[in-house]
Each structure stands twice: as C-alpha cells, then as structure tokens.
Amino acid sequence: MSYDQNNIFAKILRNEIPCKRINEDAHYLAFHDIHPKAPIHVLVIPKGHYINAQDFHRNASPEEITGFYKGLAAVAENLNIQEGFRLISNCGLNGGQEVPHYHMHILGGRQLGPMLAA
Ligand code: 5GP
C-alpha cells in the first residue's frame, strides 16, 4: 500500500483545508479532532508521509521519530490534562483507522473508562 497524497491529513498539512491548529514544528502538527470523543481530543501527526504507526516506526528517521514524540509530549504537557489521558493510534483495517496518515489521538478531560467498549 502506498501513501495516498489526497488523504485528509495530507490536505491539512498542505493548508488546503483548515484545522484548529494547536502547535507545530518541523516534525509534527497538532490540531483538534473535528468530532471530539472527549472534552479534549487532539490529533498529532508527523510532517512526513507515513501511512500508519507501523510504517512510521519502521521507516521514519531517528530524527523524525524523536521530533514527533517530543512534540507529542510537549502538546500533552500544555493541554492541562495532568490528571491523566489516553494515547491511541488506530492501525489498519482491524484497528479501525480511517485516515491513512499516521496520527496519535490524545484524549482526556474526563475519566475515560475501559480501554475498549466491547
Ligand atoms: P482514525 O479513525 O483514523 O484513527 O482517526 C481519524 C480521526 O480524524 C477521527 O477521530 C476523525 O474525527 C478525525 N478527522 C477526520 N476528518 C477530519 C478533518 O477534516 N479535520 C479534523 N480536524 N479531524 C478530522
């Protein structure tokens, strides 16, 4: 499977569609999810073109990986979710991934309950 240049997050990265931007640097962009599943629901995506977690972890450079995860930590730090939060990355069909550009969900702002609904 090759990277789809027309996926929605690629368009957000190219500023072709808007997003509620939180922060970014050379390695990541953080923005609010359009359909929040919790009081805080933020997406953090790498600037590079990686389809999913497996693609990113296997093929991104050490600088890209470090930059992305340091960015993720900085974003989480600034979201006022010291009481706890959840990181989720859906991967592929069975993982329920809808957008084929690697992303991490940051969810928080309330007690999130069990890890899976069923
Ligand atoms: P996935 O199911 O791939 O892990 O998550 C994709 C997420 O992207 C969903 O939570 C969905 O609400 C969010 N999303 C889809 N389209 C857009 C969009 O155009 N803008 C923003 N900000 N989020 C989107």
Q: Which of 44, 56, 43, 40 is nearest to 3 (CA)?
A: 56
Three-state DSSP state, 10: helix
Q: Which positions are catalytic?
A: 103
- From the CA atom positions of the chain, what is the Rg in Å? 14
Q: Which of 12, 18, 22 is nearest to 80 (CA)?
A: 22
* Residue 1 pLDDT > 90: no
pLDDT at 117: 79
pTM above 0.95, yes or no: yes
Residue closest by Cα to atom 17 of ligand 1:
34
Number of Cβ atoms within 10 Å of the Cβ of 45:
25
Please list every protein residue whose CB sits less than 6 Å from any atom of ligand 1: 8, 19, 31-35, 90, 96-99
For 67-97, what is each residue's pLDDT tens digit?
Answer: 999 999 999 999 999 999 999 999 999 999 9
* Residue 62 pLDDT > 80: yes
Number of Cβ atoms within 10 Å of the Cβ of 44:
26
Q: 8 or 116, which is more confident?
A: 8
Beta bridge partners of 42: 32, 106
Q: 118 or 48, which is more confident?
A: 48
Per-domain boundaries in the chain: 8-108
What tokens were used for 2? 């090759």
Number of Cβ atoms within 10 Å of the Cβ of 33:
17
- Ligand 1 centre and the CA of 83: distance in Å? 25
Separation between Cα atoms, residue 25 and residue 67, nearest integer Å: 9
pLDDT at 23: 97
Structurally, at CATH architecture level, domain 8-108 sits in 2-Layer Sandwich (3.30)
